[in-house]
């Protein structure tokens, strides 16, 4: 449970909460937003176009249900239709035609919160709290401003953490740190076990586009004032000033009119857009204020980890190659699938891949033939911005080079990787095995050239098609198979590897039409040789 609080009004607190809620829901979290700003409620305006129905009851009705003797809280939240997870709104009260009904003000003002607590309302709120935290991943509470009984409920009893939203002026800064201190003191007086607050300061509506120098001065000053908020959760190697830059929501005049949700329009925001900063705030909340060293090093990876944490990747590995290496790449994909990996081929140069907010594969493999293409470089750079995977699992970038590729001509971020090597035209069996072992974290076992030759031969034999366009082609295939058998008899594994490459090329021949079926005698020879090779491979493995 997280309360969004501001000492003064008009700082963008409700705006920040509403957009963060949408982001968390779109990232597949279950989110409840509670409008506890009872004297000036209005969260329903942000979600007007997405509400499945207008709320019939709200927070004020919970208080009246308690006074009527109802022990357990009623369920008055309504669904907010956003793509992704679940987003519900518990409004302040009944809403009619987009506004709170005419009886709301009188009913709210008639409530005496001190009297409610004397009658045991605190225990009722604890039941609300337990029910909400069981049903939702995050409960975001919009608190009223200033110091009051209602604000104390939102800052002391209910939340696990606070988000304090403020702007760059003395009215906000003078008391912003003192608010958290008073909330902790109030928690100490509660008969419930509540730890010291973790507080996330959000500097809102900073205009750093026009008055850049003054904005820099105020940002540094704000960081100095709110530095105490960071003491119990910020990684020591990250400065308060750096963190404050990540937690600054800029002023963008376009979004200053009305109650708007820019995160619905700016799906993949750029660094100068307001949704970029809102994503960062949402990611810190999703990560439990943790791993801030990663945020300092790689903001995009940090946000991607929060966004992807509750989903599974469609693929284990995406193999990217230029079209001239497409044949080897598709063979590699097939070999990986035989080993149980979910793999697919991607043609470098697809702009839709680069624009995807959610990438389909956990890992990326670049096949480089001669030189890295511009599109492959873009793919790799985009992937590296999102290398922190779900639950902190590291997403890996692999680089497979065609034999003879000059490593020194690769970009620096690829030169530092461990490189695998493939021979164009030869079955990429060894590469597939090495990639499988790296992805599955299988301990590395030294594999000699003999086993590589055997595995390549087995792959080429299994890859023979049942039909070929010409009968004469099968005569060449039969000669090659017999050559492989002779090489195996003589223990000449280099020759076996060469013959395997020839067989793989012969098997790739294709033409229109039904083709000619393989002779039964040839199929028998292939089966016998394959059985011999499999026995040798098993001997190596054992």
E strand or H helix at 303? helix 299-308
> Average pLDDT for residues 261-275, to the nearest whole number?
92
Rounded distance, CA 128 to CA 141, Å? 13
- Among 184-188, 217-221, 267-271, 283-287, the range with the most confident prediction by mean pLDDT is 283-287
| Helical packing angle, 121-135 and 59-67, nearest 10° | 130
**Token pair 């140069």 in the structure block, residue:** 349
Count helices and strands (H / E) in the chain: 22, 17
User: What is the structure's pLDDT at 391?
Assistant: 45
| Helical packing angle, 212-226 and 170-188, nearest 10° | 20
Give the tens place of pLDDT for each residue, 461-489: 887 888 887 778 888 889 999 998 998 88
Give the tens place of pLDDT for each residue, 170-207: 888 877 888 888 888 888 787 777 778 899 999 999 98
Q: How confident is the model at residue 148 (pLDDT cuts 50, 70, 90)?
A: low
Answer whether 326's CB lies under 8 Å from 367's CB: no
- Among 5-19, 71-85, 175-189, 351-365, the range with the most confident prediction by mean pLDDT is 5-19
177: helix, strand or coil: helix
Give the tens place of pLDDT for each residue, 39-72: 999 999 999 999 999 999 999 999 999 999 988 8
How far is the CA of 142 from the CAs of 38, 92, 155, 411, 427, in angstroms?
A: 9, 10, 10, 48, 61
What are 203's strand-pairing partners? 166, 248
Q: How confident is the model at residue 539 (pLDDT cuts 50, 70, 90)?
A: low
Is the alpha carbon torsion for 292, 296, 298, 299 positive or negative?
positive
User: What is the structure's pLDDT at 412?
Assistant: 78
**392 or 288: whose pLDDT is higher?**
288
Taking only Cα atoms into account, the Rg of the chain, rounded to an integer number of angstroms, comes to 31
Rounded distance, CA 338 to CA 45, Å? 54
**Token pair 């290398």 in the structure block, residue:** 387
Answer whether 403's CB lies under 8 Å from 423's CB: yes
72: nearest Cα among 113, 118, 132: 132
**Token pair 């080429």 in the structure block, residue:** 460
> What's the per-residue H, E or C state across 120-163?
CHHHHHHHHHHHHHHHCCEEEEEECCCCCHHHHHHHHHCCCEEE
For 415, other C-beta atoms within 10 Å of its C-beta total 12
Q: Which two tokens stand for residue 244?
A: 């404050």
Is the alpha carbon torsion for 437, 438, 441, 443 positive or negative?
positive
Rounded distance, CA 525 to CA 230, Å? 72
% of the chain surpassing 70 pLDDT = 90
Asked whether the predicted pLDDT for residue 118 surpasses 60, the reply is yes
The β-bridge relationship of strands 30-36 and 78-79 is: unpaired
Q: Give me the helices (H) in 153-235, please.
A: 170-188, 212-226
350: nearest Cα among 341, 342, 360: 360
Asked whether the predicted pLDDT for residue 345 surpasses 70, the reply is yes
Answer whether 95's CB lies under 8 Å from 46's CB: no
Q: How confident is the model at residue 347 (pLDDT cuts 50, 70, 90)?
A: low
Q: Which residues contact 528 (CB under 8 A, 6 or more apart)?
A: none
How far is the CA of 162 from the CAs of 59, 196, 228, in angstroms?
A: 20, 11, 14
Rounded distance, CA 228 to CA 151, Å? 21
Rounded distance, CA 245 to CA 192, Å? 35
Asked whether the predicted pLDDT for residue 537 surpasses 80, the reply is no
């Amino acid at each position: 449970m997280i309360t969004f609080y501001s000492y003064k009004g008009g700082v963008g607190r409700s705006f920040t909460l509403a957009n963060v809620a949408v982001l968390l829901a779109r990232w597949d979290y279950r989110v409840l937003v509670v409008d506890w700003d009872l004297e000036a409620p209005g969260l329903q305006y942000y979600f007007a176009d997405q509400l499945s129905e207008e709320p019939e009851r709200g927070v004020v009705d919970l208080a009246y249900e308690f006074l009527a003797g109802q022990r357990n809280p009623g369920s008055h939240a309504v669904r907010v239709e956003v793509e992704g997870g679940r987003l519900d709104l518990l409004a302040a009260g009944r809403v009619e035609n987009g506004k709170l009904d005419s009886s709301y003000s009188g009913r709210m003002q008639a409530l005496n919160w001190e009297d409610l607590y004397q009658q045991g309302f605190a225990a009722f709120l604890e039941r609300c709290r337990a029910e909400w935290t069981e049903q939702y991943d995050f409960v975001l509470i919009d608190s009223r401003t200033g110091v009051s009984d209602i604000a104390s409920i939102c800052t002391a009893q209910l939340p696990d953490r606070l988000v304090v939203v403020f702007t760059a002026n003395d009215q906000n800064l003078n008391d912003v740190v003192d608010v958290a201190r008073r909330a902790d003191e109030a928690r100490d007086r509660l008969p419930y076990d509540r730890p010291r607050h973790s507080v996330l300061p959000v500097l809102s509506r900073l205009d750093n586009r026009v008055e850049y120098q003054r904005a820099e001065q105020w940002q540094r000053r704000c960081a100095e004032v709110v530095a105490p908020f960071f003491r119990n959760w910020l990684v020591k190697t990250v400065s308060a000033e750096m963190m404050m830059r990540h937690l600054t929501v800029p002023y963008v005049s376009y979004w200053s009119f009305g109650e708007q949700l820019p995160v619905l329009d700016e799906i993949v925001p750029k660094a100068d857009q307001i949704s970029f900063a809102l994503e960062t705030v949402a990611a810190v909340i999703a990560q439990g204020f943790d791993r801030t060293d990663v945020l300092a090093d790689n903001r995009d990876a940090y946000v991607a980890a929060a966004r992807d944490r509750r989903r599974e990747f469609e693929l284990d590995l995406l193999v990217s190659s230029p079209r001239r290496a497409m044949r080897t790449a598709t063979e590699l994909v097939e070999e990986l699938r035989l080993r149980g990996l979910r793999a697919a081929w991607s043609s470098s140069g697809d702009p839709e891949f680069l624009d995807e907010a959610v990438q389909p594969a956990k890992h990326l493999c670049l096949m480089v033939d001669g030189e890295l293409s511009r599109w492959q470089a873009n793919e790799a750079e985009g992937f590296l911005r999102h290398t922190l995977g779900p639950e902190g699992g590291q997403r890996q970038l692999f680089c497979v080079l065609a034999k003879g590729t000059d490593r020194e001509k690769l970009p620096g971020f690829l030169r530092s990787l461990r490189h695998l090597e493939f021979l164009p035209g030869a079955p990429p069996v060894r590469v597939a095995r090495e990639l499988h072992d790296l992805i599955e974290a299988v301990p590395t076992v030294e594999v000699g050239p003999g086993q590589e030759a055997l595995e390549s031969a087995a792959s080429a034999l299994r890859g023979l098609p049942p039909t070929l366009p010409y009968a004469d082609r099968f005569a060449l295939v039969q000669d090659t198979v017999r050559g492989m058998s002779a090489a195996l008899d003589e223990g000449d594994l280099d020759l076996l590897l060469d013959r395997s490459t020839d067989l793989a090329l012969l098997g790739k021949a294709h033409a229109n039409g039904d083709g000619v079926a393989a002779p039964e005698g040839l199929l028998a020879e292939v089966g016998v040789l394959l059985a011999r090779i499999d026995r040798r491979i098993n001997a190596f493995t054992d």
